[in-house]
Each structure stands twice: as structure tokens, then as C-alpha cells.
């Protein structure tokens, strides 16, 4: 075996051992040298029907490509890519990091060092906050986030951290919000509720932890997920929680709070328009898949051609413009807006949370002027949120 093969074999052995010994956190592939334009690829563990699999997400300019493998197939796939299409690979395990890089002449260099990530033990700041969401809550077990003993499963650490962070943010905003005229029941709409992780978490927090009278509805286009969530709500006797198979843009009864977490593309705008129309006290959205404005943005007026000529930077710029436009329209509608980091970028790039609370002290005219300036500078013409709000401009 050549030195080249030995180093690669050692790296693959370290990967297999980490997967076997349950110390694997993630693996990244970088320095792409194949065809096309992907950035890096990240492999993490996912459970499919309770069996661990490797999920490999390759980031392209406009979308991500996801492949899911059995553990053995995943190891073989990674083995075939390293040193060929990717010239660097880093294994993040709970006990160490292992990196294999190749020089231009394809000479390998294997190094190992202290771990930079630790999946099993939450960081001290996460531990302090996780008291809001005890891992042994029945809905967490039912949703397979925690095992039967109430311990968070290794593959669900990221999801659990996201749940904890969301509840922590929501809890803080609820305390800050003006609930002086709150009479009895609080109604919450969750647009694009998906499998319901955050919906169940919020309902449980509002009712079990805070003892509030809460009625919550998840809105989700996928009928299979709606059925799954309604069945679980019944099993858990969450009598105020239900799910509707419907489009985000459909008209609905008033709500005190509207949330939309990673609701795709303009479903976020529909949720915001719904909240504004209902005069909701709080609107929380974690946007993703912002596709509407990118094709319209030129940035030429603002001297941004140096950004927009690169497709990846243009998309990032469009994401920022889209979310800034949304935040400004919320302000123009009388909401105090915070744009905060939802979860660390280490877990997902979709990590911005727009948190809006109704307030009488917002400079609405200034926000609308800033919106118009942003629109002029970046060159977009049509915006779904404006279309839904009708007459706001
Ligand atoms: C990425 S998932 C997020 C699920 C959940 N909110 C979470 O954060 O875990 C987005 C969900 O939104 C749903 N969705 C997308 N567009 C929608 C629309 N226009 N109306 C209702 N649901 C929508 C999708 O079917 C999907 O289940």
C-alpha cells in the first residue's frame, strides 16, 4: 500500500470507528475539484425508521443537494470522493478532529487534534437554557427526539438545540410583549408546521410549563404530516392543538401570535401578511428558500455589481434584501422588529429569525421610506408580502 493509500485508509478507519463508537458528530468535504459549482459537502447522522444513516448535503449556489446512505454505503461513497473530487475532509468526532488534505500534487497529509465540537454534552450556555424544555417530555419521546429514558438521541441533538433556542427566544419575547389586554385564551398559528417539532414544543411550553390557556393551529400543505400531528396531539391529549391541511395564504380567523419557521419561500410572506392583517401581537419567522427577489435584483444602482456577478454572493445578497424588506414592512405596519440568530450557523445556514412585536412607538413612515430606498437601490419590482398587504406602499 502506498503512503497515499495508507493515510486515506487511516482516515476512513477513523470515520468508521467514530460511527461505530457513536462519537461521530459530522464530516465536511471541501476543496472541490470536480465538475459543477458546489461549495462544501457536510455529512451528518440521521435516523430513518430508527436506523442510523449518513445524510450528505452538498451546497450549490441556488439549492442544496441531499443524498442519504446506509452507513456502509456512506463510508464507501465518502472514500470514493476523498482525494478525487474533494481535496480536504475533516471528521468531527466527540473525542478528536481528524483532517485529511491533499496538496496540488495530490500528496495526502493526515492530522488529528482536539475536538472542536461536542454533540453529546450541550455547551454550558445551552445547558442553562435547556431547562425550559426538559428532554423527557412525552412529545419529545413520541417525535423520536428523545429515547424511552428521556435522553436526547445522538442524531437529534441539533433538533433539540433548535427547539430549546426557539422556546428560549419565544419565552423572552412573550415576557417583553404587551399582554395587558390579553383576555384568557391565547391563539397561535404556526404556518408550515411540518412534522410539528416546534409546534408541539411551543404548545407544551405555553400550557404545561406556563399554565396558559392556549389554542394553537398548525397549517401545513402536506396531508400526511397533518394526519401524523393530529394523531399525536390526540394521543398526548393536547386538546387545544390541531393541524389543518391548507395553504399558508388561505384566509383564517384572527390570531394573537403567528409563527413560520423555515416555511418555504413566500409562505413566510403569507404568514407575515396574515399576522399583520390579524393585528397579531407577535410574528416570528425564520425564513428559508428566498427565491422571489433574486432574479429581480441587479444591485447596479447601489454599485453592487461586484457582488451580484457571483451567483452564490448574489443569492446571499438576495436573501438579505428579502429579509430586510420583510423586516421593514413589519415596522411600517407598526411592529418593533429584531433580527436575531436562531441557531448557530454550525447547524444550518438558515439561521435568521425575524421577531416582531406590536408596538405603538415605531417610526412607521421612516421604515416605509427605508423600504422604498432598498427597493430602488437593489432594483426589485414585485414583492409577495406587499401584494398580500395591498395598499401598504
Ligand atoms: C422546512 S419545513 C419546516 C417545518 C417546521 N416549521 C420546522 O421548523 O421544523 C417547511 C414546511 O412548510 C410546508 N410548506 C411549504 N410551503 C407551504 C405553504 N405555502 N403553505 C403551507 N405549508 C407550506 C412544507 O410542506 C414543510 O412541511
For residue 248, report the distance from its CA to the centre of ligand 1, in Å. 9
339, exposed or middle or buried, with CB in 10 Å at 0-12, 13-18, 19+?
Answer: middle
For residue 191, report the distance from its CA to the centre of ligand 1, in Å. 7
DSSP SS3 for 349? coil
Which atom from ligand 1 is nearest to the alpha carbon of 286?
Answer: 8
Asked if residue 121 has pLDDT above 50, the reply is no
For residue 373, report the distance from its CA to the centre of ligand 1, in Å. 31
DSSP SS3 for 264? strand
User: What's the pLDDT score for residue 221?
Assistant: 93
For residue 195, report the distance from its CA to the centre of ligand 1, in Å. 9
The Cα–Cα gap between 230 and 238 comes to 9
For residues 144-156, average pLDDT: 86
User: What's the pLDDT score for residue 49?
Assistant: 64
Q: What letter would DSSP give residue 208?
A: I
Portion of the chain with pLDDT greater than 70, in percent: 89
> Among 57, 139, 200, 221, which residue has the most ligand 1 atoms within 8 Å of its CB, making it the best to mutate?
221
262-312: pLDDT as tens digits: 988 889 999 999 999 999 999 999 988 888 888 888 866 778 888 888 989
Beta strands (DSSP E) in the chain are 24-32, 41-48, 51-59, 64-70, 86-93, 97-102, 108-113, 186-191, 214-220, 241-245, 257-264, 282-288, 335-341, 352-358
User: What's the pLDDT score for residue 125?
Assistant: 43
For residue 258, report the distance from its CA to the centre of ligand 1, in Å. 14
User: What's the pLDDT score for residue 148?
Assistant: 85
Higher pLDDT, 362 or 179: 362
> Among 264, 342, 352, 388, which residue has the most ligand 1 atoms within 8 Å of its CB, making it the best to mutate?
264
Cβ count within 10 A of residue 382: 9
Which atom from ligand 1 is nearest to the alpha carbon of 159?
Answer: 9
Q: HSE, CB side, 13 Å, CA atoms: give it for residue 173.
A: 27
Residues with C-beta less than 6 Å from any ligand 1 atom:
192-194, 197-198, 219-222, 225, 247-248, 261-264, 267
For residues 184-212, average pLDDT: 93
pTM of the model: 0.69
Identify the residue whose C-alpha is closest to ligand 1 atom 14: 192
User: What's the pLDDT score for residue 196?
Assistant: 96
Asked if residue 142 has pLDDT above 50, the reply is yes
**CA-wise closest residue to 226 among 251, 190, 253, 262:** 190
Asked if residue 365 has pLDDT above 50, the reply is yes
Q: Residue holding cell 422604498?
A: 372
Contact 25, 126 (CB under 8 A): no
Asked if residue 182 has pLDDT above 80, the reply is no
For residue 263, report the distance from its CA to the centre of ligand 1, in Å. 4
User: What's the pLDDT score for residue 119?
Assistant: 52
For residues 357-377, average pLDDT: 94
The Cα–Cα gap between 243 and 190 comes to 9
Amino acid at each position: 500500500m502506498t503512503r497515499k493509500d495508507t493515510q486515506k485508509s487511516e482516515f476512513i478507519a477513523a470515520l468508521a470507528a467514530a460511527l461505530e463508537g457513536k462519537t461521530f458528530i459530522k464530516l465536511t468535504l471541501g476543496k472541490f475539484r470536480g465538475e459543477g459549482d458546489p461549495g462544501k459537502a457536510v455529512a451528518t447522522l440521521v435516523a430513518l425508521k430508527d436506523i442510523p444513516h449518513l445524510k450528505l448535503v452538498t451546497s450549490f449556489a441556488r439549492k442544496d443537494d441531499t443524498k442519504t446512505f446506509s452507513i456502509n454505503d456512506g463510508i464507501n461513497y465518502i472514500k470514493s470522493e476523498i482525494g478525487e473530487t474533494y481535496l480536504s475532509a475533516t471528521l468531527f468526532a466527540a473525542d478528536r478532529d481528524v483532517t485529511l488534505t491533499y496538496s496540488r500534487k495530490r500528496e495526502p497529509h493526515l492530522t488529528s487534534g482536539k475536538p472542536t465540537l461536542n454533540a453529546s454534552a450541550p455547551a454550558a450556555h445551552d445547558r442553562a437554557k435547556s431547562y425550559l424544555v426538559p428532554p423527557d417530555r412525552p412529545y419529545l419521546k413520541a417525535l423520536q427526539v428523545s429515547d424511552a429514558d428521556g435522553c436526547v438521541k445522538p442524531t437529534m441533538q441539533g433538533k433539540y438545540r433548535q427547539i430549546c433556542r426557539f422556546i428560549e427566544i419565544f419565552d423572552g419575547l412573550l415576557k417583553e410583549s404587551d399582554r395587558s389586554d390579553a383576555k384568557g385564551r391565547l391563539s397561535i398559528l404556526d404556518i408550515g408546521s411540518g412534522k410539528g417539532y416546534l409546534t408541539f414544543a411551543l404548545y407544551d411550553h405555553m400550557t404545561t410549563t406556563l399554565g396558559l390557556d392556549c389554542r394553537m393551529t398548525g397549517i401545513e400543505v402536506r396531508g400526511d404530516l397533518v394526519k401524523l400531528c393530529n394523531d399525536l396531539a390526540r394521543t398526548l391529549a393536547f386538546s387545544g392543538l390541531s393541524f389543518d391541511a391548507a395553504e399558508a395564504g388561505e384566509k383564517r380567523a384572527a390570531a394573537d401570535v403567528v409563527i413560520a419557521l423555515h416555511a418555504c419561500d413566500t409562505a413566510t410572506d403569507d404568514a407575515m401578511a396574515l399576522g399583520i392583517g390579524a393585528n397579531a401581537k407577535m410574528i416570528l419567522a425564520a425564513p428559508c428558500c428566498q427565491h422571489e427577489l433574486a432574479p429581480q435584483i441587479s444591485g447596479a444602482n447601489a454599485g453592487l455589481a461586484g457582488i451580484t456577478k457571483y451567483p452564490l454572493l448574489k443569492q446571499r445578497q438576495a436573501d438579505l434584501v428579502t429579509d430586510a424588506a420583510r423586516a421593514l414592512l413589519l415596522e411600517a405596519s407598526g411592529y418593533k422588529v429584531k433580527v436575531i440568530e436562531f441557531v448557530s450557523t454550525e447547524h444550518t445556514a438558515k439561521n435568521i429569525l425575524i421577531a416582531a412585536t406590536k408596538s405603538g412607538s415605531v417610526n412607521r413612515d421612516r421604515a416605509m421610506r427605508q423600504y422604498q430606498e432598498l427597493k430602488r437601490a437593489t432594483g426589485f419590482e414585485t414583492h409577495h408580502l406587499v401584494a398580500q398587504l395591498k395598499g401598504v406602499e
